[in-house]
Structure formats: C-alpha cells, structure tokens
Amino acid sequence: MSNAGQTTAPRDLREHLALLKERGLLVTIDEPINKDTQLHPLVRWQFTGGLPDSARRAFLFTNVVGADGRKFDTPVLVGGLAASPAIYATGLGVNVEDIGDVWTRGIDKPIPPIKVENGVCQEVVITGDDLRKPGGGLAALPIPISTPGFDSAPYFTATLCVTKDPESGIRNMGTYRGGLKATDRVGVRMATRLTGAGGYQHWLKYKELGQPMPIAIVIGAAPVVQYTGPQKLAVDDDEMAVAGGLAGAALRVCNCKTVDLEIPADAEFVIEGLIDTTYVEPEGPFGESHGYIALEEFNMSMQVTAITHRRNPIFVSVVSQVTPSESSVMKKVAYEPLYFQHLKKALNVKGISGVVMHEPLSNLRPIIFLQFKRGAVQSEVWRGLQGAATLQAQCGKIVIAVTDDVDPRNADAVFWSMAYRSNPIDDLLVVPYRSRSHGPKTAGGSANSTLLIDATAKDLMPPLALPAKQYMEEAKEIWDRLGLPALRPQAPWHGVHLGDWDDRWERFAQAAVVGDWERNGENSFQRRRSDVEPETPVRRVEK
C-alpha cells in the first residue's frame, strides 16, 4: 500500500479483484449457489456471525443459479467493495488509517475525467427486441435477492445511477436501489426526504420540462468511482472528478449508446434508459439499511433502452439491510474521518480525539460518539456535540461525548460513562425541530429532535475496576495455553488510572499482589478512629 499522498488505486474492478486475491481477502465459491435464496444469506453470516472485521472477505460466486434452475454464466461478487475496512482501503490503494486523508484530498483537489471514444463497458451492446425476449434483457443478469422471504424482486444494490441537471449539465452519481419489474423495466428509488438525492432533484427539473429523465445504472466501476455514490457530496460536485482526486489521476468516461450521458468507461455493466416523469409505480417491499423492510411505495419507473457490458463480465452486489453490512462499512470508514476533520479543523474544537458512528443495527447515522481528551474544556465538548449534530441533516440525532479512557466503539462502555459521568439535568440537551431522517415510513410525525449528552469525566476518578494490564495479559497466556475458546478482547479489558489515586493506595496494591496484605492491615489498624461514622471517606479526615 502507498501513503495517502500517492495512491495506487486500482483503475477497474479486475485490478481490484487481483489485489484482493493477492492479499488473501477474496474467497471463490465454485459450487452451485442459488442467487434468489442462498447467495446473500451466505455472505451475511460474516456480518451476523460474530466475526471481527479482519475475518470478513469478499466472495466471488462462479456457479450462480436461479430459483427456477437457470444457470448463469456471469459470476457475482459480493463483499468486494467494503466487507471490511481492509477491502475498502484496497479499493483506494491506501492503508486503512489513510482513508480520511484521501477523501479530504479527493474532495479538495478533484481531477476531471478524460473522454474516450469507446469504453470496455460497451464491448457487448443489447438493445431493441433482445431486451424484451423471454429470459433476456435484465432477466439474463444474475441479480440476487437481498432479503429472501421479504423482498419482492431481485434488486440492483451496488449501483451508480448517473443523471445530469438539464439546466447546468452537471453530472450526479448516486447509489439508489433498483428493483426488477420486467426484462426491460426497473423500479428506481431515489431519496426524496431531507434535501433529496441529487438524482431526485434532476427528476424534478425534467418533470417541470415535461420530459423523461435519461439515466444510466453503472455496475462494477473501479472502487474509487463506486465509493463516491454513498458519499453526500455537494450537489455541484462531479463524482467522477472526485473519484479522480481519490485515485490521483484522471479516470476515463465515454458516451452512452442510447441516452445523452457520460459513464465510467471501464465498468462491467451499464443499464441505460429513461425514467418517466409523468407516472410513478409501486416499488418494494425491500430490506432497507435502517434495519426494517421498506414497504411498498410509489417510486420512479425506468424504461431500459440498452444493456452494455464487458466481455465475460462480473456482476457486483452489496450486502445492505440490517447493519453491520457492506453498505455500512462503506460509509463508516469514510464518514468518521470526515466528521473528525470537520470538528478538529473546520470548527477548531479543542480536545476532540475521535469520532465513532454507531454501526450495529442503528446504521451509523442516528448515533454518533465523540471522544475527548481528559481535561477538555466543557464549552469545547458542547461545541463538538453541536457541530456533529448539524454537519449533515441525516446524521447526529443522538450525539454522546465521552473521555478518552472510554472506547466509543464499545456501546456498553458508553452506557457506563453515561451512568456514572453524566447528570441529566446538567449534561443533557434536547434540541427541537430536526427533520426526520432515514427510517421506516410507518413512524408517525414529520419532525424529530436532537439529543446531546456530555458523558465526559468532569473530575478525577478512581481507577477502572479491572485487574491491571500485566495480570490480564498473564492470564490470557494461560487461557490460550489451555486451549480454551478463542478470545476477542473488547476494551476495557484491564484496569486504568483515571486520576484519583495516590502513592499510599499504590503501595497497598503492590503489597497485596506479593502476598503481603497483612502489612496493609497493620497500617490501617494504626489509623483507627472513634470520631467518624462508617463509610466516611478517609481523605476527609486525614489531611
């Protein structure tokens, strides 16, 4: 891996797969796997089975079949974009710790793409009657069902939906789901809540013009391109230029065959078409990343005009729905450093040392934990809480600040800090008039609110009541030697000093661990008193 200043990002999916294989991050499955019932559940086990991030892999299925027994020649890649931070970093060509710096550079120093006459994504072109014949068109693609038992159809999930503003011509590439409706029709969901997705804003303008909206659904572009879709970039940012900034070099684009759009030239598949701006049709149900099934809604209807792809293409899908998932990893590893940079540099919040977006079940956006250095000024803590809650409308419904002895990745540790370091009447603030963000539509009301909690340590505190580090490490060596079940230490796993401790107590502790506890008892016997009540702290009477 290179450093953040000189990335070696793979320029297409094939390069990325070669790197994943070289680094032991790719598992190839050659036995028959049913795309409609088995494929996504199999990959999901690595997110729900208690595996650490480092054990997650990309899966390449080479023998894909459908529920009807049909065999597909095209392999399917799942987990290949972001099953783990290491896989995501491979796609950027950097180390995991450099992800935030690369994103800052990509946004600050975009590199516009270069135009080529023909892209490898157009080595095969399917149009006209070939799109509509039985088993042809979209039905010929090995598109998995993401949530078997609940989803209404196979869905495109690893998408870049390319549209452009009919007035300015500025391109937008967003990650929106697309459900199969017919061999030449797709139901597309572009977010309408909050400020609305970029593609939705374009749709509104085409609707006002009384024209259908051109769209191209790109599958299997270079990871640096795919990663721009989930990011919430400024509406006038060109994602292809930002992707060039991430890669440190201009990327290639070419014209679509049947609609007036430019697309990544080195992608695996492109689905071209027109979205109706007069009618919308029911779409769903489909499992959403907020953890609930999104019920049937009216959404956009896309008429497919062409399917183009590489020779011997690879189809890409992502695991989304309940988090953690591939989708949430893709956001988490980019959002957290961007939030930290915003608080530390843009707002100059003093004492901030980390940002963690809570991933399990809650999908990052509603709950954010901020970590502050011990002794951080309380006004700076509150500036950080407010800054995190207001950076993006979709993020920061609940923001909690902790001190740096608390691991914000451990929700239990955060609850512990809230229980003993916050006084609700002083350390809690509820702010009204927050827009409803990503969540199930069945929840009532149109407005929400923000909850800010300062759970940092306000004073010096006694040590954390766990054995000191050296004794826990010695015990773990014994554990491992005995062949007991593999451990996954989760902080805090050893005691730490939190400021309220003196030399006398340290001497007591050191005497105890060498069996000299009776000396401690002799010391306390000499300090007996008759003028205090039980449970009176010693330091109140011994000066």
- Domain check: are 208 and 301 in the same one? yes
162 and 284 co-located in one domain: yes
Quote the DSSP letter at residue 54.
G
Residue 425 lies in a domain: yes
Same domain, 198 and 75: yes
- The pLDDT, as a whole number, for residue 188 is 94
Shared-domain flag, residues 379 and 519: no
Percent of the chain whose pLDDT exceeds 90: 74
Domain count, the chain: 3
Which amino acid, residue 277?
T
Enumerate residues 6+ apart whose C-beta is below 8 A from 68.
none
Question: Residues in the chain, how many?
Answer: 543
pLDDT in tens, 146-203: 999 999 999 999 999 999 999 999 899 989 999 999 999 999 998 766 556 788 999 9
Residue 398 pairs in a beta bridge with 367, 451
What's the pLDDT tens digit per position in 391-409?
Answer: 988 899 999 999 999 999 9
In a 13 Å sphere around the CA of 277, the CA atoms on its Cβ side amount to 18
Assess if residue 325 is contained within a domain.
no
- Of residues 321 and 42, the one with the higher pLDDT is 42
Sheet holding 398-403, edge to edge: 352-357, 367-372, 398-403, 447-454, 428-435
What integer pLDDT is reported at residue 1 of this predicted model? 47
pLDDT of 289 reads 78
Cα(371)–Cα(456) distance, rounded to whole angstroms?
A: 8
Strand order in the sheet with 33-34: 33-34, 64-65, 71-72
DSSP labels, 468-531: BHHHHHHHHHHHHHTTPPPP---S--SB---B---HHHHHHHHHHHTT-HHHHHHHHHHT--SS
- What is the per-residue pLDDT for 256? 97
Mean pLDDT of 301-330: 94
Examine the domain organization and report whether 309 and 412 are in the same domain: no
Please check whether residue 1 lies inside any domain of the structure. no
189 and 244 together in one domain: yes
CA-closest candidate to residue 96, choices 104, 83, 87: 87
Is residue 443 pLDDT above 60, yes or no?
no
Same domain, 80 and 32: yes
> How far does the chain reach from its first CA to its final CA, in angstroms?
58
- Please check whether residues 359 and 313 belong to one and the same domain: no
> Which residues, including other chains, have CB under 8 Å from residue 436's CB and lie 6 or more apart?
193, 443, 445, 446, 447, 448
What is the Cα–Cα distance from 450 to 290, expressed in whole angstroms? 18
Q: What pLDDT score does 2 carry?
A: 45
From CA 494, how far away is CA 149, in angstroms rounded?
Answer: 44
Q: What is the pLDDT of residues 232-271, one digit of tens each?
A: 777 778 899 999 999 999 999 999 999 999 999 999 999 9
* Same domain assignment for residues 478 and 440: no
Q: 420, 454, 488 — which closes off a domain?
A: 454
Q: Is residue 331 part of a domain?
A: no
pLDDT at 321 over 90: no
Residue-level pLDDT at 45? 93
CB atoms within 10 A of CB 193: 16
Position 271: which residue type? I
Q: Is residue 7 part of a domain?
A: no
Q: 497 — phi, psi (to 5°)? A: -80, 135
Given this model, what pLDDT does residue 521 score?
A: 92
Same domain, 447 and 497: no
- Helix or strand or coil: residue 283? strand
Nearest to 90 by CA among 136, 58, 43: 58
- Apex CA 455: angle with CA 452 and CA 459, to 5°? 140
* Number of other CB atoms surrounding residue 34 within 10 Å: 18
Report the phi/psi class of residue 37: left, alpha or beta, with left for phi > 0 and alpha for psi in -120 to 50: alpha
Q: How far is CA 36 from CA 67, 68, 237, 240, in A?
A: 6, 9, 37, 33
Mean pLDDT, the chain, rounded, equals 91
Whether residues 298 and 403 share a domain: the answer is no
Dihedral sign (CA 433, 438, 439, 442): positive
227 contacts 264 by C-beta, under 8 angstroms: no
Let me know: does 396 contact 389? Beta carbons within 8 Å: yes
The answer on pLDDT for 427 being more than 90 is yes
pLDDT of residue 363: 87
Q: Which residues of 357-393 are buried (b: 16+ CB within 10 A; e: fewer)?
A: bbbeebbbbbbbbbbbeeebeeebbbbbbbbbbebbe
Q: Compute the distance between CA of residue 239 and CA of residue 236 in angstroms, rounded to an integer.
A: 9
Percent of the chain exceeding pLDDT 70 equals 96
How many whole angstroms from its chain centre is CA 115?
31
Q: Which CATH number covers residue 405?
A: 3.40.1670.10
Higher pLDDT, 321 or 15: 15
Residue 240's pLDDT is 93
Q: Kindly report the CATH number assigned to the domain that includes residue 164.
A: 2.30.110.10
Contacts of 117 (CB under 8 A, 6+ apart): 254
In a domain, 119, yes or no: yes
Distance of CA 224 to the CA centre of its chain: 15
Using the 3D structure, point to which of 427, 454, 481 is the last residue of a domain.
454
Of the candidates 291, 401, 325, the residue with the CA atom closest to the CA atom of residue 356: 401
Which residue range(s) make up the domain with 184? Answer: 13-317
pLDDT average, residue stretch 482-509: 88
Q: Is 201 among the domain residues?
A: yes
Q: Residue with structure tokens 């049709």?
A: 281
Q: Which amino acid is at 226?
A: Q
At 492, the amino acid letter reads: P
CB-based contacts of 186, cutoff 8 Å, min separation 6: 138, 156, 178, 179, 180, 217, 271, 273, 301, 302, 304
| pLDDT, mean of residues 413-430 | 96
The reply to whether 5 falls in a domain is no
Report the relative pairing of strands 76-78 and 58-61 from DSSP bridges.
Answer: antiparallel
**Residue 444 pLDDT > 60, yes or no?**
no
Residue 262 in 3-state DSSP?
strand
pLDDT tens-digit readout, 350-378:
999 999 999 998 888 899 999 999 999 99
Strand partners, 451: 398, 430
Q: In the predicted model, what is the mean pLDDT of residues 131-144?
A: 96
Q: Do 359 and 262 share a structural domain?
A: no
